[in-house]
Amino acid sequence: MTMRAALRAYPTLLRVGLAEAVAYRAEMLVWMLTTTMPLVSLALWHAVAESGPIGRFGPRELTSYFLAGLIVRQVTSSWVVWEMNQEIRTGTLSLRLLRPIHPLLGYSAENLAALPIRGALSLPVALAMLFLGGSEGVSRFLDDPTLVPMLIAALVGAWLITFLLMCAIGALGFFMESSSSVFEVYLGLFFALSGYLFPLEFLAARAPWVMGATRALPFYYQLGFPIELMLGLLDRRAALRGLAIEWAYVAFFYLLATRLWRLGMRRFGAYGA
C-alpha cells in the first residue's frame, strides 16, 4: 500500500480503533489505573519534601512534576507489545498480514485511537490540579508560547519512542517463544531511569554520573524530558538538545523495529491460524 493510500485509510483505522476502545470500557479503565503510579510517587515524595526541599523540588514543585507525569503517561502510553506477543504466539497475526496495510501502522492506529479517551478522562483532573497548585513551572510555561510547539514535538517523540521500542520488543516474539520477559526488563529500566519514580535531578548530588547516563538513554525522553519541558525546567538550549536526542532515538527505534519485523516475518510460523 502506498503511503498516500495508507494515509487515506488512517482516519478510518482511528475511528474503528476508537469504537473498539469504547467497547472495552472495563479493560480501558484498568489500563488507565496502571498509569496512575505518579500519584503514589507524589504522595511519597511530598511527605519527604515537607521536611525540606530536595534540590529545586519543594512540595509544590513535586506536585506539579508528578501530575505532569500523569498527563505524559496517559497521552504517550502504548500496549502494543502485549498484542504482538499474543498474536505471534497464537498465529492470529495472520489476519493482519492478509490486509494490504503494514501491521505496524494498524497497531499504531489502535494505540493512538484510545488516547483521546484516556486524555479526556484524566486530563481535566490533572490540569485543574496543576493550575490550582499555582506552580511556577506552569506559569512560566504559559508565559513562553515557544514552548508549545516544542512540547508537542516532545510528546509525539515520546509516544513514538515508546511505541516503536515496544514494537521492537514485540518483534522479538518471532525469535523467542515469548518476548514478555524482555519487556519486564525494559519496564524495570523505564521505571528506574525515566523519571517515573522520582525526578532524575535527585541523582545530581549523589550520583551525577547516573544522571548523565540517563540523558544518553532513551527512557528519559519517554517521560522525564517532556515533563521537564512542560514545567519550564529546561532552558531553550537544553530543550532543543533534548529534542534532537529524542528524535534521533525515534529514528533509531523505527529502523530497529522495522528491521526486526522484516527478519521475524521470515520465521513466522502462523501456528494455530
Partner 1 sequence: MNSGGSSATVEVEHLTKIYRVHKRPPGLAAAMKSLLRRRYEEVRAVDDLSLSIAPGERVGFLGPNGAGKTTTLKVLSGLLHPTAGKVRVAGHVPQERQAAFLKRITLVMGQKQQLLWDLPPSETFALNRAVYDIPRVQFEETLEELTRLLEIGEVVGKPTRQLSLGERMKCELAAALLHRPEVLFLDEPTIGLDVSMQLTVREFVRRYNERFGATVMLTSHYMDDVAALCPRVVVIDQGKLRYDGGLAELVRTRRPEKRAVVGFERPVVRAELEESLGGMGRVVEHSDGKAVIQVRQSDLKAALAMVLARFPVADLTVEDPPLEEVMRELFAGEKPR
Whose grid coordinates read 508537542?
152
Q: Least Å distance between CB 75 and partner 1? A: 24
Q: Least Å distance between CB 104 and partner 1? A: 13
Query: Using the rule CB under 8 A, is 216 a contact of partner 1?
Result: no
Query: Using the rule CB under 8 A, is 13 a contact of partner 1?
Result: yes
> DSSP class of residue 98?
T
Residue 159, C-alpha cell as written in the block? 509516544
Query: Using the rule CB under 8 A, is 26 a contact of partner 1?
Result: no
Query: Using the rule CB under 8 A, is 178 a contact of partner 1?
Result: no
Binding mask 127-146 for partner 1 (x = CB under 8 A): --------------------
Binding residues for partner 1, rule CB under 8 A, total 31
Nearest to 58 by CA among 201, 195, 205: 201
Query: Using the rule CB under 8 A, is 47 a contact of partner 1?
Result: no
Q: Would you say 99 or 259 has its CB closer to partner 1?
A: 99
Residue 65 CB contacts under 8 Å (≥ 6 apart), including other chains: 42, 57, 199, 227, 231
> DSSP class of residue 172?
G
Per CB under 8 A, the list member of 3, 24, 194, 250 interacting with partner 1 is 24
- Sequence length of the chain is 273
Per CB under 8 A, the list member of 9, 32, 127, 156 interacting with partner 1 is 9
Angle in degrees, CA 246, 250, 255, rounded to 5:
145
Per CB under 8 A, the list member of 3, 23, 26, 132 interacting with partner 1 is 23
Q: Using the rule CB under 8 A, give the single segment among 4-12, 74-82, 126-134, 181-189 that binds partner 1.
A: 4-12
Q: Least Å distance between CB 27 and partner 1? A: 10
* Contact (CB, 8 A) for 224 and 213: no
Query: Using the rule CB under 8 A, is 79 a contact of partner 1?
Result: no
Query: Using the rule CB under 8 A, is 268 a contact of partner 1?
Result: yes
> DSSP class of residue 218?
S
Question: 179 to 198, contacts with partner 1 by CB under 8 A?
Answer: none
Question: What residue type is assigned to position 36 of the chain?
Answer: T
Query: Using the rule CB under 8 A, is 270 a contact of partner 1?
Result: yes
Distance CA(24)–CA(27), nearest Å, equals 5
Residue 137, C-alpha cell as written in the block? 513551572
Query: Using the rule CB under 8 A, is 94 a contact of partner 1?
Result: yes
Distance CA(250)–CA(160), nearest Å, equals 6
CB atoms closer than 10 angstroms to residue 248: 13
Q: Least Å distance between CB 195 and partner 1? A: 36
Q: Least Å distance between CB 9 and partner 1? A: 4
Rounded alpha-carbon distances, angstroms, from residue 235 to 45, 163, 229, 241, 242: 25, 27, 9, 10, 11
Nearest to 221 by CA among 238, 236, 206: 238
Residues at the site binding partner 1, with contacts judged by CB under 8 A: 1-2, 5, 8-9, 11-13, 15-16, 19-20, 23-24, 91-92, 94-95, 97-101, 106, 177, 265-266, 268-270, 273
